[in-house]
Structure 1
Amino acid sequence: MIRTPERVGHRSPLQQPGAGPTKETSMRIIETSETLDASTRGCILTVGNFDGLHVGHQALLDAVVERGQALGRPTALYTFEPHPRRVLYPDSSPPCLMSGEQLVAGVREAGIDIMIREHFTLEFASLSPEVFLREILARRVAPLEIFVGRDFHFGKGRRGSGDTLERAAPEFGIRVEIIPQVRVGEEDVSSSRIRGLLNEGRVEAAIACLGRPYTVWGTVIEGAGRGRELGFPTANLDPDNELIPQPGVYATRARLFTQDRPSAPSLPSVTNIGTRPTFDSDRIVTEVHLIDFSDDLYGRRLELCFHARIRSERRFPGAEALARQIAEDVERARQLLGPAQA
């Protein structure tokens, strides 16, 4: 049976049921630094994109929260919306690992007090590292300390680095701490590495980098009803996320939303991503069969966590052969996942 690690190097936000307590706070969200008030002055700050909230990001957030608690200071995360690459390279920007809603939930669960979302534009991108530090960070946010990762860059052309910040920030009374890169295996953890793993269907390897299963949120929409005809009713998921793992069949866990967030129980499931080649379809769909679950899910919000890849998608000679294979997939998922988790 697969058990989601509570900690792969660091505590993971967006924890699954049974993974232990989180540090969740009633986090404030502030849109653009222009609207900041005095609440961030003297805060412990971190800056970055934080796409995926992987174990490297978690190390950074853990350090910020711990420092804020030690000094009795508020903690803040400064990020950008949209992702800078969307603005700078609109035709080649890679998909994000998280929706904006997921990122907010993860940062809140990490224990951050204030999230600042800067509206990123070409004009904003033209700010030099010196101007960004002086006018945005020092004057508007006014932190006591800034924590960044070793690979942090900022300002026009990414000319500023953590070392730049470490040299220049003390002039404004700001202490800087650079957190070392987190490695899994022989490689640094990065959002790009995780995207590559998911595009190859290697969801188990992605778990090691994320500290939790890759998670997709979405809404159940009307489907063709073929799963029910085969004896395995499925929820047709319209994902919020831009990145879905490589087509194939996966052992997954699903949680239904209560109000605005996923809630227990965590239900074992089998998810097929692909074009349903047995039925000559050419549109990629995400179909989820919740094991031993029969309620109507149409219109419901659903969280889907990818634990293991079972097999590739393939064409079968007919519906009967496909149904036999699905039964085998369900049994394999039972073995991997175990029962529902409260």
Structure 2
Amino acid sequence: MIIYRELDEIQDLKGCVVSVGNFDGVHRGHARLLDVLCQTAQKLGVPSLVVTFHPHPAFLLSPDRAPPPLTWLDRKLTLLSHAGVDRTLVYPTNQQLLEMSPEQFFQEILVTRLKARAIVEGADFRFGKDRAGDISLLKLMCSRQGIDCHVVPPVLFNEEPVSSSRIRQCLLDGKLRDATAMLGRPFRTVGRVVRGAGRGSHLGFPTANLNDVPTLLPREGIYAGIVPLQGRLYPAAISLGGNPTFEECQRKFEVYILDFTGNLYGHLLEVEFIEYLREIRRYESVDALIAQMNDDVSQVRTIFERYVAQAKSDHAA
């Protein structure tokens, strides 16, 4: 996939099929839209092109209320590429963009610069200053320009449309299975490994402590997860929260990677959340905590083996 970081980098387009959006999470609803995008582009013999914004416009308009993202930018671009998108423009969000009227954005960006032959969007698409443009206005503008406009119906989960905001709320509420179902894959985040107190090593469970996490994190608790590392997948026990047994209230993100030995300090570590195990609680003794952690690790290994076997079965089918 060709990635543009500025609009001026696009010089060779003689036409494209375009979809504009934040694509946060690149979830099942996005997947259906991207499928229509790529199929339409193939029929017209032009590239498919996604326009996504970085940072999310909400971070400029109301940073205190901006929702934490489900995916960091590099992960989003990887998922768009896996979906078959030919090109992506990462449009730098700035005040000039936010001041564009719907008519300006359509004419100056989509028609003049991108030479859109067709546009693919969802029914709830909004664009232009103050989100004044909606799908009805887009269809009218496309009709006047002779541009095809494809409106993709939403994907439903539990009889409601799949959306980034629903997935975000499910993660915050601890409904990991629902979030996974709507994403179409396990929730994944990333963080930089930093030095912690070293207590995990003394207990027999050396953990990677993660900071600088660019995404939302799920509800506090203990999770079974997977860490892709050095070309293979490792089962992982994940702790999100404090450590009340040692009177520590500060929320931490710790990952115990089973069957791995090595120095990860300073490295970026990606982590997938597979299953919620339990809440974090205080234990009366260190021995009781260790016994619980041994049980957690046993569960993690079982869940990991089941997950890998299911993935192999799905791939074979």
Q: TM-score, normalising length from structure 1?
A: 0.86
* Shift of residue 125, structure 1, vs aligned partner: 1.5
Selected match of 1:161 from 112, 121, 134: 134
Inter-partner Cα distance in structure 1 for 2:238 and 2:30: 28
Aligned length: 309
What are the equivalent positions in structure 2 for 1:111-260 lying under 5 Å apart? Answer: 111-256=84-229
AA of the residue aligned to 1:85: A
- 1:317 equivalenced with 2:290 (yes/no): no
- 1:32 equivalenced with 2:6 (yes/no): yes
Counterpart for residue 315 of structure 2: none
What are the equivalent positions in structure 2 for 1:5-20 lying under 5 Å apart? Answer: none
Q: Which moved more, 1:83-92 or 1:116-125?
A: 116-125
Q: Which moved more, 1:207-216 or 1:222-231?
A: 222-231
Kept after mapping to 2: 8 A contact 1:266/1:340 = no
1:266 aligns to what SS in structure 2?
Answer: strand
AA of the residue aligned to 1:69: Q
What's the C-alpha RMSD, in Å, of the aligned pairs? 1.8
Selected match of 2:273 from 290, 295, 306: 306
1:240 aligns to what SS in structure 2?
Answer: coil
Structure 2 stretches lacking a partner, 5+ long: 313-317
Counterpart for residue 57 of structure 2: 84
Residues 153-180 of structure 1 deviation map (CA, whole Å, 9 limit, x = unaligned): 1112212112211111132232110100
* Shift of residue 239, structure 1, vs aligned partner: 4.7
Inter-partner Cα distance in structure 1 for 2:307 and 2:278: 22
AA of the residue aligned to 2:297: V
Inter-partner Cα distance in structure 1 for 2:268 and 2:100: 40
Inter-partner Cα distance in structure 2 for 1:294 and 1:31: 38
* Shift of residue 123, structure 1, vs aligned partner: 3.0
* Shift of residue 240, structure 1, vs aligned partner: 3.2
Residues 18-54 of structure 1 deviation map (CA, whole Å, 9 limit, x = unaligned): xxxxxxxxx2221232442132x31111110101111
AA of the residue aligned to 1:323: I
Counterpart for residue 24 of structure 1: none
* Shift of residue 294, structure 1, vs aligned partner: 2.6
Q: Which one has the bigger helix percentage? A: 2
* Shift of residue 327, structure 1, vs aligned partner: 0.6
Inter-partner Cα distance in structure 2 for 1:69 and 1:134: 24
1:307 to 1:61, Cα distance in 2 relative to 1, 3 A: same
Kept after mapping to 2: 8 A contact 1:267/1:340 = no
Q: Which moved more, 1:166-175 or 1:322-331?
A: 166-175
Counterpart for residue 260 of structure 2: 293
Inter-partner Cα distance in structure 1 for 2:236 and 2:90: 35
1:297 aligns to what SS in structure 2?
Answer: coil
Q: TM-score, normalising length from structure 2?
A: 0.92
Identity of aligned residues (%): 38
AA of the residue aligned to 1:201: G
* Shift of residue 71, structure 1, vs aligned partner: 3.0
After TM superposition, which residue ranges in structure 1, 4 or more long, deviate above 4 angstroms?
339-342
- 1:330 equivalenced with 2:297 (yes/no): yes
- 1:108 equivalenced with 2:81 (yes/no): yes
Counterpart for residue 275 of structure 1: 242
* Structure with more relative contact order (C-alpha pairs < 8 Å, separation 6 or more): 1
1:292 to 1:31, Cα distance in 2 relative to 1, 3 A: closer
Residues 115-139 of structure 1 deviation map (CA, whole Å, 9 limit, x = unaligned): 1122222332222111111111111
Inter-partner Cα distance in structure 1 for 2:259 and 2:103: 59
AA of the residue aligned to 2:256: H
Structure 1 stretches lacking a partner, 5+ long: 1-26, 259-263
* Shift of residue 339, structure 1, vs aligned partner: 7.2
Inter-partner Cα distance in structure 1 for 2:257 and 2:191: 15
- 1:73 equivalenced with 2:40 (yes/no): no
